[in-house]
Amino acid sequence: MTGLNASEIIGKNATEIFPGIRNGSFDWIGVYGKVALTGEKLELENFSEILGKWYKITAYSPEKHYFVTLFSDITVEKETLKMAENLLQTSFLENDYKKISDTALTISGAKYVALNIYEEDGNFFRTVTISGNNNHIDKAISILSFNPKNKKWPHDINRAQKIAGQKITRFSNLHKLTRGVISDKIVKILEKTFNIGEVYVVKIERDNQMIGDFTIIMNEGDLLENKIFLEIYSSLVGLSITRLDLEYKLSETRVNYQHLVESSMVGILTCDINGNIKYLNPRVLDILGSPGEKETKKINLLKFKPLVDSGFSNYLAKVLSTGKKIGPAEIVYRTKWNKEIIVRVHIAPIFSQNKLSGAQILIDEITDRVELEDLRRKEILLQEIHHRIKNNLQVIASLLNMQARNFEDEIVKSAFLDSQSRIKSMSLAHEKIYGVQDLSRIEISDYIRNLENYILRTYFSDSRNIDLRNDLDTVYLDIERTVPIGLILTELLTNSIKHAFPDKDNGLIYVSFKYLNGEYILKVSDNGIGISEDHEINNPKSTGLKVVTMLTRQLDGNLEIDTSNGTCYSITFKNEPINC
């Protein structure tokens, strides 16, 4: 019990045996001296700081000036009672399972202890923790090829029958316990590797129902210690294991809830009855543009002027005075860090012991959503404007057509017709915009085909046979580029149809629109008679070519004319903001 042999004690002074005895917190020499002098019998329990153990001590005097001491080691009993007190009086955290099995290891004097908890239906039990030498446990896992911790074991009828009717069941070796569940060959390797001896199963019961057990594995040649205290301890664990399991599940729920709150895309904060912030999640900091939690918590939600001005403080005050929730409410707010936001808030009261103690606030930033909705409304309005422009242009085109009928002069009528075609090209561009999702993306190839059909219907006579061919990429352009391209195409197609084939009824017109190497290329060519060689691009004489040159400049583009085989107009421009 002391770790000393007889030769180290007999004939020695107490201060020689225990050099620090005079400096301890308990006056052993004074107590025993009193017994020797008075003959008074003494019984006490005390912790020896020198030996690190608890002892139960009985001292008496057979004759004056002499005393006899009887003592026993009660360290295990003390630790058991201490753990019992903890089991009954404290709440448990996740790692308390490990503490429970560690205590069982100490009480039993075992080499390893596994704590098993049974499922409610009794069909499975789970090994929640294992105590013992961690290096040995890791090596055993390697031999088993699986980790027994947290493993669910199926109900073993043989095991159940063997342990029925007794609190503690002894097995002479491990493989007699595990037979049918783990290979005997593997278990015998474990027994040999770790010098395993007897194995005991100690039931953990509640209301006479088994809810778990300690599987206690002894070293070869060792016997189970403190059976009575082990039974008491397992009974105490049975009383507390339900609470432990509930606390564990509650703790797990708290962790999951906390993770949900911390990662939420909605801002969540709570305040006390006076408007002081008690909690806020990271999303609140993002919404407010705040540099940190500490700075944000300095704000009083009822008194901070920007919150008062926004109307939020008034909403919160109503909740804190009436105990009734408010929301959703939309608020425009400029934060302390000069970030203007639009938020939708829900405010709900918090009660503690049936007394209003604060509020919980949910904040959803809807700035982008509101701006998007506003933009969408503007787009719809703009589409409607384009629709009306198209209608007005068609009215103008119709008026020009009616006016042209009042003239007999073909030159005048042709001028009216050209103007009508130019207006129609713009009208078609605005018609394409009406109903599209993105006003900045007009599919140009479809627009070109519609424009070609209109021009052919306008200028073709039944006696002529002109072949119009296309090579068009699927390209999206905005209205600022679509309208000039439409006008250019109108001028060039009209010019080819009217002037390229004066002496023949058959002709070929070729229209190409491509996107190559970051540039848009529009080509309009024909195999007609061509234009005169004295033309100048920078100083054109015809109205049509003047219009084409002006529109090419508007596109910041480049115009080239090739007359080597008919006429080929090539307009090249880049996808950059245009100068209007």
The count of structural domains within the chain is 4
Q: What is the CATH number of the domain that holds 224?
A: 3.30.450.40
Instruction: Identify the pLDDT of residue 95.
Output: 45
Alpha helix ranges (H) inside 364-459? 367-404, 410-433, 444-459
Q: Are 353 and 326 members of one domain?
A: yes
Q: How far is CA 77 from CA 104, 227, 238, 492, in A?
A: 12, 11, 18, 108
Residue 1, domain member (yes or no): no
Helix (H) or strand (E) holding 141: helix 134-144
Q: How far apart are CA 148 and CA 129, in angstroms?
A: 9
DSSP bridge partners of 559:
571
Residues 47 and 172 reside in one and the same domain: no
Residue 386 has pLDDT above 60, yes or no: no
What is the domain-level CATH number for residue 296? 3.30.450.20
Phi-psi region of 381 (alpha: psi -120 to 50; beta: other; left: phi over 0): alpha
Quick: pLDDT tens for 404-434: 777 777 777 677 767 766 676 666 655 655 5
Percent of the chain residues topping a pLDDT of 70:
73
Ordered strands of the 277-280 beta sheet: 277-280, 267-272, 355-365, 340-352, 326-334
- For residue 340, pLDDT over 70 is answered with yes
In a domain, 147, yes or no: yes
Q: Examine the domain organization and report whether 381 and 353 are in the same domain.
A: no
**216 or 496, higher pLDDT:** 216
Rounded CA gap, 345 and 331, in Å? 8
| CATH number of the structural domain spanning residue 562 | 3.30.565.10
Q: Summarize the confidence of residues 187-196 as an average pLDDT.
A: 92
**Per residue in 315-326, pLDDT tens?**
999 999 999 999
Residues 480, 503, single domain; the answer is yes
pLDDT higher than 60, residue 468: yes
Cα–Cα distance, 255 to 268 (Å, whole number) = 16
| Residue 14, domain extent | 6-73
Confirm if 365 and 342 have CB atoms less than 8 A apart: yes
pLDDT score of 274: 94
Same-domain check for residues 551 and 426: yes
Domain boundary among 57, 73, 89: 73
Asked if residue 307 is part of any domain, the answer here is yes
pLDDT band at 111 (very low <50, low <70, confident <90, very high): very high
pLDDT in tens, 538-573: 555 677 788 889 889 989 999 999 988 889 999 999
Contacts of 370 (CB under 8 A, 6+ apart): 342
Render pLDDT for 22-58 as a digit per residue (tens, 0 to 9): 666 667 677 777 878 888 888 878 777 767 778 788 8
Residue 438 in this model has a pLDDT that exceeds 80 = no
| Residues 156 and 296 occupy one common structural domain | no
Same domain, 315 and 342: yes
Residue 351 tokens, joined: 């009660």
The pLDDT value given to residue 266: 85
Identify whether 580 is part of a domain: no
* 223, 258, 293 - which closes a domain: 258
The whole-number pLDDT of residue 229 equals: 81
Check whether residue 107 and residue 251 sit in a common domain. Answer: yes
**pLDDT category of residue 94 using cuts at 50, 70 and 90:** very low
Q: Are residues 279 and 189 in the same domain?
A: no
For the chain, the average pLDDT equals 79
Residue by residue, what is the 3-state secondary structure of 245-283? HHHHHHHHHHHHHHHHHHCCCCEEEEEECCCEEEEECHH
Q: Are 343 and 363 in contact (CB under 8 A)?
A: yes
What are the structure tokens assigned to 89, written together?
A: 């009086």
Does 579 map to a domain?
Answer: no
Q: Are residues 348 and 254 in the same domain?
A: no
Residue 354 lies in a domain: yes
**What Å distances lie between residue 2 and 17, 20, 49, 73, 342, CA to CA?**
11, 15, 12, 9, 76
- Which of 55, 73, 91 is a domain's end point? 73
Look at residue 444 and give its three-state secondary structure.
Answer: helix
pTM for the whole structure = 0.37
pLDDT tens per residue across span 251-293: 666 666 677 667 777 888 899 999 999 988 888 888 777 778 8
Average pLDDT over residues 85-101: 61
Does one domain contain both 395 and 299? Answer: no
Do both 39 and 146 map to the same domain?
no
Range with the poorest average pLDDT among 123-127, 137-141, 208-212, 529-533 = 529-533
